[in-house]
C-alpha cells in the first residue's frame, strides 16, 4: 500500500471571512497558507478564490494569477474548483479550465447543500469531463452521495477515462443534504469504489465540520487518502478554532504516519495521479 496523499482545501466558497479571520482570502494569504501546508505534508491544493470583499469569485484573471503564484512558490499540485459556489453558473464553471490547472474538481451529481442546491446536470458533467480530457487536466471526481458512484461508472463508460488514465475520487461527507460523515458511510463508499470503478481507483475523503475526525480515521483504515482544510472544518476541537490550514494538515500527516502510511511527496503524488509534466 502506498503512503497518503494529503489534499488541503484552504478556503472554499461558504465560510465567512468576517466570522473566521484566519481564513485565507487574498492571493498573499493563499500563497502563505499553501507554502506552510506543503511544508506540513500536503501535496494537492484545492483552490476557491475570493474577491476584494472576500466573496467567492470565478474571475478568470484571478484564477490565472493564482495558478501562476502557486506554481512559482510551491510544488503543490494545483487543483481548481469547478464547483465554485452554489450561485455560480455553468459557463463560468466550465471557463475555470482556461486557467490551465493540473487538476480540477468534477462533482458527479446534483445534491441538496444546506438550504441551497448544488446543481450538476448530467450534460454539464459530461461537458466538463470532455474539456478536461482535451486540456490535459486530471479530474478529482467529487462524490457527495452514494448515487454518485454509479453515475461516475456511467460517465467513464460513455466518455472514456480521464486524462492520464488514472481515476481518483474524493468523498465529501457530512454536507447537510448529502451522505453522512461517519465510519459506516466511508465503508459503504470504499466498497462502492471497488464495485463500480476501475481497478486501481484511488480515493480520498473529507468530513465537514465535526465529522472530520471519524471520516479521516475511517479513510485511513480503508487505505484511502485525506483531504483537510478550512473549506470543510473551521474548528480544530471543541471550542477551539482552527488557527490555520497547516494545523489541519499537520494533524492529518500525524494520523497518516501513525497508520504507517506517511504523507507522500508532491513528486510521488504527481506520479500517482498522472498529472501532465
Ligand atoms: N462550494 C460547493 C458548492 C467543488 O469545489 O468542486 C461546491 C464545492 C465542490 O466546493
Ligand atoms: Zn471545493
Q: Contact at 8 Å (CB) between 40 and 262? A: no
- Strand-pairing partners, residue 143, are 171
Q: Which ligand is nearest to the CA of 10?
A: 2
By the CB criterion, residues less than 5 angstroms from ion ligand 2 are 81
- Does residue 1 surpass a pLDDT of 80? no
pLDDT of residue 33: 98
pLDDT of residue 193: 98
pLDDT of residue 2: 86
pLDDT of residue 72: 98
Question: What is 6-273's CATH number, 3.20.20.70, 1.10.10.10, 3.30.420.40, 3.90.226.10?
Answer: 3.20.20.70
CA 237 to chain centre: 22
Percentage of the residues of the chain whose pLDDT score is greater than 90: 99
Which residues does ligand 1 sit against, CB inside 6 Å? 12-14, 81-83, 85-86, 105, 107, 113, 118, 142
Mean pLDDT of the chain: 98
Domain ranges within the chain, ordered by starting residue:
6-273
pLDDT of residue 277: 87
Sign of the Cα pseudo-torsion (154, 160, 166, 170, in order): negative
Residue with the smallest CA separation from ligand 1 atom 1 is: 85
- Cα-trace Rg, the chain: 17
pLDDT of residue 104: 99
| Span 83-101, pLDDT tens digits | 999 999 999 999 999 999 9
Averaged pLDDT, 150-176: 98
Residue with the smallest CA separation from ligand 1 atom 8 is: 83
Assign residue 98 a region: left if phi > 0, alpha if psi is -120 to 50, beta otherwise? alpha
| Span 21-80, pLDDT tens digits | 999 999 999 999 999 999 999 999 999 999 999 999 999 999 999 999 999 999 999 999
pLDDT of residue 103: 99
Output the CA 2–ligand 2 centroid distance in Å.
25
Q: Contact at 8 Å (CB) between 113 and 172? A: no
ipTM score here? 0.99
| Span 117-143, pLDDT tens digits | 999 999 999 999 999 999 999 999 999
Amino acid at each position: 500500500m502506498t503512503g497518503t496523499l494529503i489534499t488541503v482545501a484552504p478556503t472554499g466558497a461558504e465560510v465567512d471571512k468576517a466570522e473566521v479571520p484566519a481564513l485565507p482570502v487574498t492571493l498573499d494569504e493563499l500563497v502563505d497558507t499553501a507554502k506552510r501546508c506543503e511544508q506540513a505534508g500536503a501535496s494537492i491544493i484545492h483552490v476557491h478564490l475570493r474577491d476584494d470583499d472576500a466573496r467567492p469569485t470565478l474571475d478568470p484573471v484571478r484564477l490565472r494569477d493564482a495558478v501562476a503564484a502557486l506554481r512559482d512558490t510551491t510544488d503543490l499540485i494545483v487543483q481548481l474548483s469547478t464547483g465554485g459556489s452554489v450561485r455560480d453558473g455553468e459557463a463560468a464553471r466550465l471557463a475555470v479550465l482556461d486557467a490551465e490547472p493540473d487538476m480540477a474538481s468534477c462533482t458527479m451529481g446534483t445534491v441538496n447543500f444546506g438550504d441551497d442546491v448544488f446543481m450538476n446536470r448530467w450534460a454539464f458533467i459530461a461537458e466538463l469531463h470532455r474539456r478536461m480530457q482535451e486540456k490535459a487536466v486530471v479530474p478529482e471526481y467529487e462524490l457527495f452521495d452514494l448515487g454518485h458512484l454509479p453515475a461516475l461508472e456511467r460517465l467513464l463508460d460513455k466518455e472514456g477515462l480521464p486524462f492520464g488514465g488514472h481515476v481518483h475520487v474524493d468523498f465529501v461527507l457530512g454536507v447537510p443534504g448529502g451522505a453522512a460523515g461517519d465510519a459506516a458511510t466511508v465503508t459503504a463508499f470504499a466498497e462502492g469504489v471497488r464495485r463500480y470503478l476501475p481497478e486501481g481507483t484511488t480515493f480520498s475523503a473529507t468530513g465537514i465540520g465535526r465529522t472530520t475526525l471519524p471520516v479521516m480515521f475511517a479513510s485511513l483504515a480503508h487505505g484511502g487518502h485525506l483531504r483537510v482544510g478550512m473549506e470543510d472544518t473551521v474548528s480544530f476541537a471543541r471550542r477551539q478554532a482552527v488557527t490555520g490550514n497547516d494545523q489541519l494538515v499537520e494533524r492529518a500527516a500525524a494520523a497518516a504516519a501513525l497508520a504507517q502510511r506517511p504523507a507522500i511527496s508532491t513528486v510521488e503524488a504527481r506520479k500517482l495521479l498522472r498529472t501532465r509534466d
